[in-house]
Amino acid sequence: MFLITGATGTTGGLVRKLLLDRGEPVRSMTRSPSRDDDVHGDFDDPSTLVSALQGVDAVYLVTVPATPTPTHDLALLAAARTAGVRRIVRLSAIGTGERFGGEVLGAWHLAADDAVRGSGLEWTILRPASFATNLLREPVYNLTGDAGHAVIDPRDIAAVAAEALTTSVHRGQLYTLTGPGALSIPEQAAILGEVRGRPVDVVDAEPATVDPTWRGSVLWARAGHTARVTDDVTRVLGRPATDFARWAHEVGRHLS
């Protein structure tokens, strides 16, 4: 049995579908169950987590920063150990733990990643680059100027997650997931706009306008560090990562 947290989000929903398409037993944790495979679970109520995890072998863990410390991740890990879960696949973020401008980037993600690695469970951590789907939230605020991003198709993240969930081959691995090339936000917008036949609304913005929690990561990206391409998607899936143009034709043109 597989438990998907964040099952209504960008990657969680895709992981859920991949596993269901394979005929795997899936539970989708939510505070408001509405589908057949939904189960009630609330990160702020540990008793619901233990119940949701009964009989579960592996968990796809997606959380958002509720506090400076990873309270939700810690709660899930404690419940997972109680329930006898064997494997955790955690969605982190590119750049986590990098030092830039006198600070450690993604400190909250890093604390959560470290907790997963020290949990005693089998683990895989995924640190993806920016999602292609970020271009769907218009106006698109461009905080990074002409800096490139090795933007990734969320379908590739989900495919890697599904592989890590269903086999022990990837235990103890930390994967930095990127697309096959780097594109600036204006370049991404131009591609998607051409596919759609209308411009994508992009607004240039300054990093100073960003919440201080994330400002260091924005400046890191603006300095060009998110342009680095890895082969981790290919290593896991045995095929190239999907490029942005293909995503735009297959997915982006149909969504807004």
Using CA atoms, how far apart are residues 5 and 9, in angstroms rounded to an integer? 9
pLDDT (0 to 100) of residue 66: 67
Question: Does 255 have pLDDT greater than 90?
Answer: no
Per-residue pLDDT, 92: 97
Query: What CATH code would you report for 2-254?
Result: 3.40.50.720
Six-digit token pair at 43?
């990160």
The answer to whether the CB of 243 falls within 8 A of the CB of 129 is no
CA 189 to chain centre: 21
pLDDT bin (cut points 50, 70, 90) of residue 209 is confident
How does pLDDT run across 212-233, given as a tens digit for each residue?
Answer: 888 999 999 999 999 999 999 9
* Entry pTM: 0.96
**DSSP assignment of 18-72, as one string?**
HHHHTT--EEEEESS--STTEEE-BTTBHHHHHHHTTT--EEEE----SSSS-HH
Query: Where are the domains positioned within the chain?
Result: 2-254
Take residue 14 and report the two structure tokens written for it: 């895709």
**Model confidence at 180, in pLDDT bands (50, 70, 90)?**
very high
Collapsing DSSP to helix, strand or coil, 174 comes out as: strand
- Angle between helix axes 107-117 and 71-83 (nearest 10 degrees) is 10
